[in-house]
Amino acid sequence: MSKYSYNKEDIMENKYMCEETIVHQDVVKDVQSQIINENMSDKLSKFFKAIADPTRMKILYALKFKELCVCDISIILNMSQSAISHQLKTLKENDLVRSRKEGKTRFYRLADEHVHHIFEVSLAHLMEEHDEKDL
């Protein structure tokens, strides 16, 4: 069980609930005024869903280092070019990668510095809890 999982018995015993119902109006209003709208929540959900796939994650990680073509990525990940192209389409639709064509070859790169930063922050977070060798 991960540290974020809840034990059914704990929930039944209300270990994750307040003992008394007290609404902190100022806090509630403040958060309500800043919470993201449904449209942005949906976009964010799709964004995380797009990077949640292990193959797409590896592709993004490879692109963190260099601009690569489908042929390069297929060799790096030991997968067919067709499988890589399919994953790149999803990444492109979610604005995680961009491409450019040079002759008959299409090169892919991370969409922008934000995508690179997401990896850096995520890895730093994971390394706080695990040895580097576990990653």
Q: What is the pLDDT of residue 28?
A: 85
Kindly list the distances between the CA atom of residue 117 and the CA atoms of 29, 60, 83, in Å, as whole numbers in the listed order. 31, 12, 26
Residue 73, Cβ neighbours under 10 Å: how many?
A: 22
Domain map (residue ranges) of the chain: 53-134
Q: Is the pTM of this model over 0.75?
A: no
* Secondary structure of residue 95 in the 3-state scheme: coil
What is the pLDDT confidence band of residue 130, given thresholds at 50, 70 and 90?
Answer: low
pLDDT at 105 over 70: yes
Q: Which CATH architecture has domain 53-134?
A: Orthogonal Bundle (1.10)
Vertex 96: Cα angle to 92 and 102 (nearest 5): 55
- Quote the radius of gyration of the chain (alpha carbons, Å): 21
**107-124 pLDDT, tens digit each:** 999 999 999 999 889 889
Mean pLDDT value of segment 52-71: 95
Exposed/middle/buried for residue 56 (C-beta within 10 Å: 0-12, 13-18, 19+): buried
Residue by residue, DSSP assigns 32-94 as: HHHSPPHHHHHHHHHHHHHH-SHHHHHHHHHHTTS-EEHHHHHHHHT--HHHHHHHHHHHHHT
CA 36 to chain centre: 18
